[in-house]
Structure 1
Amino acid sequence: MSTYKVAVITGASQGIGAGLVTAYRKLGYAVVATSRSIAPSDDAMVRTIAGDISAPAVGGRVIELAMDAFGRVDTLVNNAGVFVSKPFTEYTDEDYDLVTGVNLRGFFEISQRAVEIMLAQGGGHVVNITTTLAEQADSRVPAALAALTKGGLNSVTRSLAIEYASRGIRVNAVAPGVIRTPMHPAETHDVLAGLHPVGRMGEIGDIIDAIVYLETAPFVTGEILHVDGGQSAGH
Structure 2
Amino acid sequence: MNILDKFNLNDHVSVVTGAARGLGKAMAEALVQAGSNLVIADIDYEEATKTAKKLMKESGKEVLVVGTDVTKEDSVNNMVDNVVGHFGKIDVLINNAGIVINEKAEEMSIENWYKVIDINLNGVFIVSKAIGKVMIRQKGGSIINVSSMSGIIVNTPQCQSSYNASKAGVIMLTKSLAMEWAKHNVRVNAIAPGYMKTELTKKFFENSGEMVDMWMNSTPMGRPGLPEELGGIALYLASDASSFATGSVFTIDGGYTAL
Given the two structures, how large is their TM-score scaled by the length of structure 2? 0.84
For the residues of structure 1 that align with 2:107 and 2:255, how far apart are their CA atoms? 29
Q: Residue in 2 aligned with 1:177?
A: 194
Q: Residue in 2 aligned with 1:201?
A: 224
Q: Residue in 2 aligned with 1:36?
A: 43
8 Å contact from structure 1 (residues 55, 101) kept in 2:
no
Pick one of 87, 91, 103 that aligns with 1:86. 103
For the residues of structure 2 that align with 1:79 and 1:194, how far apart are their CA atoms? 27
The offset of 1:182, in angstroms, is 2.6
What pairs with 1:98-109 in structure 2 (closer than 5 Å)?
98-109=115-126
Matched, 1:132 2:149: yes
Q: Residue in 1 aligned with 2:62?
A: 45
Matched to 1:207, the amino acid is L
For the residues of structure 2 that align with 1:119 and 1:134, how far apart are their CA atoms? 28
Matched to 2:131, the amino acid is A
Matched, 1:112 2:129: yes
Pick one of 239, 243, 246 that aligns with 1:221. 246
For the residues of structure 2 that align with 1:227 and 1:161, how far apart are their CA atoms? 20
Pick one of 114, 132, 144 that aligns with 1:97. 114
Specify every segment of 5 or more residues in structure 1 that has no aligned partner in the other structure, as ranges.
none
Aligned-pair Cα RMSD in Å? 1.7
For the residues of structure 2 that align with 1:51 and 1:160, how far apart are their CA atoms? 22
The offset of 1:188, in angstroms, is 3.8
What pairs with 1:155-194 in structure 2 (closer than 5 Å)?
155-189=172-206, 190=208, 191=212, 192-194=215-217
For the residues of structure 2 that align with 1:187 and 1:6, how far apart are their CA atoms? 35
Matched, 1:65 2:82: yes
8 Å contact from structure 2 (residues 197, 226) kept in 1:
yes
Matched, 1:7 2:32: no
8 Å contact from structure 2 (residues 142, 237) kept in 1:
no
The offset of 1:67, in angstroms, is 0.3
Q: Residue in 2 aligned with 1:230?
A: 255
- Aligned partner of residue 159 in structure 2, secondary structure: coil
What pairs with 1:145-164 in structure 2 (closer than 5 Å)?
145-164=162-181
For the residues of structure 1 that align with 2:202 and 2:229, how far apart are their CA atoms? 19
- Aligned partner of residue 63 in structure 1, secondary structure: helix
8 Å contact from structure 2 (residues 178, 186) kept in 1:
yes
Q: Residue in 1 aligned with 2:34?
A: 27
- Which stretch shows the higher mean deviation, 206-215 or 113-122? 206-215
Matched, 1:211 2:234: yes
Given the two structures, how large is their TM-score scaled by the length of structure 1? 0.92
- Which stretch shows the higher mean deviation, 7-16 or 58-67? 58-67
The offset of 1:53, in angstroms, is 1.8
For the residues of structure 2 that align with 1:21 and 1:32, how far apart are their CA atoms? 9
Matched to 1:218, the amino acid is S
8 Å contact from structure 1 (residues 66, 72) kept in 2:
yes
Structure with higher helix content = 2
- Aligned partner of residue 39 in structure 1, secondary structure: helix
8 Å contact from structure 2 (residues 26, 230) kept in 1:
no
Pick one of 40, 43, 54 that aligns with 2:71. 54
In percent, how many aligned pairs have the same letter?
A: 27
Aligned residue-pair number: 232
